[in-house]
Amino acid sequence: MKAVIYARYSSDNQREESIEGQLRECTAYCKKNNITIVRSYIDRALSAKTDNRPDFQRMIKDSAKGLFDVILVWKLDRFARNRYDSAHYKAQLKKYGVKVLSATENISEGPEGIILESLLEGMAEYYSAELSEKVIRGHTENALKCKYNGGTPTFGYTIDSERHYQIDPRTAPVVLEMFTRYDGGSTMKEIRDYLNDAGVTTVRGKAIDLNFVAAILHNRKFLGEYKYREIIIPNGIPSIVPQDLFDRVQDKLAKNKKAPARHKAEDDYLLTTKLFCGTCGAMMVGESGTSSTERKYHYYRCVNTKKRRTCNAKHKSVKKLPLENAVVNSVMAKVMDDNFVEYITDAVMDLQGRESSALPALRKQMEDAERGITNMLNAIQAGIINASAKQRLDELENAKQKIELQIIQEEMRHPLLSREDVTYWLCRFRTLDVTRLEERRRLIDSFVNSVTIFDDYILITFNYKEGTERVDFEDIKRSDLKSVGGPSFVDTRCTQKSRTSVRDFCVHLVSTKLGGAAATNGEHPA
């Protein structure tokens, strides 16, 4: 008689026999009963409650080849954890003349053996269900206390000694930056590429992929929401992403999911949603057409000339490329102007000073706590030690830890930036290759609030207070990118850092608040 051994180890029960132990007892059974072992099938750390067991399925498939007569298991619950699956697969094996035997459970061939086998399988099923209930019960108790229930920890958090979620100072800023970038117009692919270029990995040390980015952007845990099965506890864990930012990202995710094709088509027209007709006030949208010579043309057209035909503007349509070039030239002229950089830097620093009041107070508390700890340590070194001194030192250490966490949270909400940070971020735009679509888009989305087309000129409104510029149509017709040339404009003051940091990136969160129009527009540099 030829037999194969099937061994399985379930990771949810650490008291089970090891794979080696199962194989040893099965081998001893075969020697005792003169059974030849053909091979072994082994599934490690897999439950019998699922059919998704690779070696088990391979064994069932091989049973049809007539290679063996018996499947030997340590116990019957290694084969299946419920009576339905057991009966199903045993019936399938019976077609090919294959039986299932237990090395440790002596089951006779008669009617009483059938009863015993059914009893053992029923007990295994009961045990599995009871174990599952106990696990769920324990997890539910943990959930009511907002404790970690096992599995891979969530990116952005660490687990403390009491199994509570705590903000990870290393990865939490990355989560915030991902939300901010998507809110600012970056695609998931761009975010993925940025993180991989920055050397960011998952909790398990793997490269960032699109599934990871999507999971992060959809995860309500970053709002501080704890969830386990039907249990949902708002503010159960520390939050990483502000509510308003999270809501904006969810709106954009929903819109992009509903109309991905439309979104892609709009991307090529850089002034979409920013371009307006000065005569009727309607939006101008991108279109394309083909001439009799099969040449394709791209232009922007006033919507009222298409549908209602109520607009009598001189320029009902404007060629796409010259118009976009004119806008890019105007923005680059601003960026290359040191006075402009100085003005924006002053405005950012002023706004930051007015809006961020919590951080200075927290840092003052930190100084006081550190000073108190130093004084207590000096006193202990001088021989002045008693129970109250030890208690006071513990209180100061605990207070310091809490203040440190509050500072981290506040810095993520309102990053404090130096003048050098702001200047560096602005000067980085001087290095853009404006012949590339993505970098042209980045420039326009960062600085341009709207463009209005009148009969003889266009009016560009920038994302800062009183920032406007007039460009005549004669200049538009001659617009190209020769004057800005792309990446040849490199300011040595702006190339000292090789990679954008979280603090560098956060500048745009502040700068978009400089004017009312910019704040409502919600556009940020990627």
Please check whether residue 350 lies inside any domain of the structure: no
Output the domain CATH number for residue 44. Answer: 3.40.50.1390
Per the CB < 8 A criterion, the answer to whether 329 and 479 are in contact is yes
Please check whether residue 211 lies inside any domain of the structure: yes
- 200-209, 230-239, 330-339, 464-473: which range is least confident on average? 464-473
Whose CA is closest to 202, among 150, 153, 253?
Answer: 153
Q: pLDDT at residue 490 above 60?
A: no
Q: pLDDT at residue 220 above 80?
A: yes
Q: Is 448 helix (H, G, I), strand (E, B) or coil?
A: strand
Q: pLDDT at residue 70 above 60?
A: yes
Q: What is the pLDDT of residue 37?
A: 92
d(C-alpha 412, C-alpha 177), whole Å: 9
Q: Is 69 helix (H, G, I), strand (E, B) or coil?
A: coil
User: Residues 215, 339: one domain?
Assistant: no
Name residue, tokens 């009902």: 316
User: Residues 93, 163: one domain?
Assistant: no
Q: What is the pLDDT of residue 43?
A: 84
Q: What is the pLDDT of residue 130?
A: 60
Residue 124 confidence class, pLDDT cut points 50, 70, 90: low
Highest mean pLDDT among 27-41, 43-57, 135-149: 27-41
Identify residue 442 by its one-letter amino acid code.
R
- 56-65, 307-316, 337-346: which range is least confident on average? 307-316
User: Residues 274, 334: one domain?
Assistant: yes
User: Residues 510, 439: one domain?
Assistant: yes
User: Residues 369, 389: one domain?
Assistant: yes
Q: Radius of gyration (Cα) for the chain, nearest Å?
A: 34
3-class SS string, 200-211: CECCCCCECCHH
**Last residue within a domain, chosen from 227, 258, 289:** 258
Please check whether residue 143 lies inside any domain of the structure: no
Q: What is the pLDDT of residue 45?
A: 62
User: Residues 449, 517: one domain?
Assistant: yes
**Last residue within a domain, chosen from 213, 239, 258:** 258
* Domain extent at residue 62: 2-135
User: Residues 313, 452: one domain?
Assistant: yes
Output the domain CATH number for residue 193. Answer: 3.90.1750.20
User: Residues 406, 424: one domain?
Assistant: no
User: Residues 203, 114: one domain?
Assistant: no
Please check whether residue 250 lies inside any domain of the structure: yes
Please check whether residue 142 lies inside any domain of the structure: no
Q: Is 157 helix (H, G, I), strand (E, B) or coil?
A: strand
d(C-alpha 129, C-alpha 45), whole Å: 18
Q: What is the pLDDT of residue 229?
A: 80
Integer CA distances (angstroms), 366 to 360, 394, 403, 405, in order: 10, 15, 6, 11
Q: What is the mean pLDDT of residues 91-119?
A: 69
Please check whether residue 82 lies inside any domain of the structure: yes
Name residue, tokens 């027209």: 269
Per the CB < 8 A criterion, the answer to whether 311 and 282 are in contact is yes
Please give the residue that has the higher pLDDT: either 386 or 161.
161
> What is the rounded average pLDDT for all residues in the chain?
76
Instruction: Kindly provide the residue ranges of all beta strands, DSSP E only, lying in 235-280, ordered along the sequence.
Output: 275-277
Q: What is the pLDDT of residue 515?
A: 34
Whose CA is closest to 142, among 157, 160, 162?
Answer: 162
Please check whether residue 349 lies inside any domain of the structure: no
Q: What is the pLDDT of residue 522?
A: 34
Q: What is the mean pLDDT of residues 237-265?
A: 77
User: Residues 37, 130: one domain?
Assistant: yes
Whose CA is closest to 222, among 262, 183, 264, 178?
Answer: 178
Please give the residue that has the higher pLDDT: either 241 or 406.
241
Per the structure, the count of domains in the chain is 4
Identify residue 312 by its one-letter amino acid code.
N
Buried b or exposed e, range 176-199, using 16+ CB within 10 angstroms: bbbbbbbbbbbbbebbbebbeeee
Strand-strand pairing, 317-319 and 284-290: unpaired
Q: What is the pLDDT of residue 243?
A: 92
Residue 179 confidence class, pLDDT cut points 50, 70, 90: very high
Q: What is the pLDDT of residue 483?
A: 44
Q: Is 9 helix (H, G, I), strand (E, B) or coil?
A: strand
Please check whether residue 240 lies inside any domain of the structure: yes
Q: What is the mean pLDDT of residues 228-240?
A: 87
Give the pLDDT confidence of 434-471 residue by residue, as tens digits. Answer: 888 888 888 888 888 889 999 888 999 887 666 677 87
d(C-alpha 327, C-alpha 302), whole Å: 18
Per the CB < 8 A criterion, the answer to whether 281 and 268 are in contact is no
d(C-alpha 423, C-alpha 189), whole Å: 28
Q: Give me the count of residues in the chain.
A: 526
Q: What is the pLDDT of residue 161?
A: 87
User: Residues 382, 406: one domain?
Assistant: yes
**Last residue within a domain, chosen from 238, 258, 278:** 258
Q: What is the pLDDT of residue 466?
A: 62
User: Residues 115, 22: one domain?
Assistant: yes
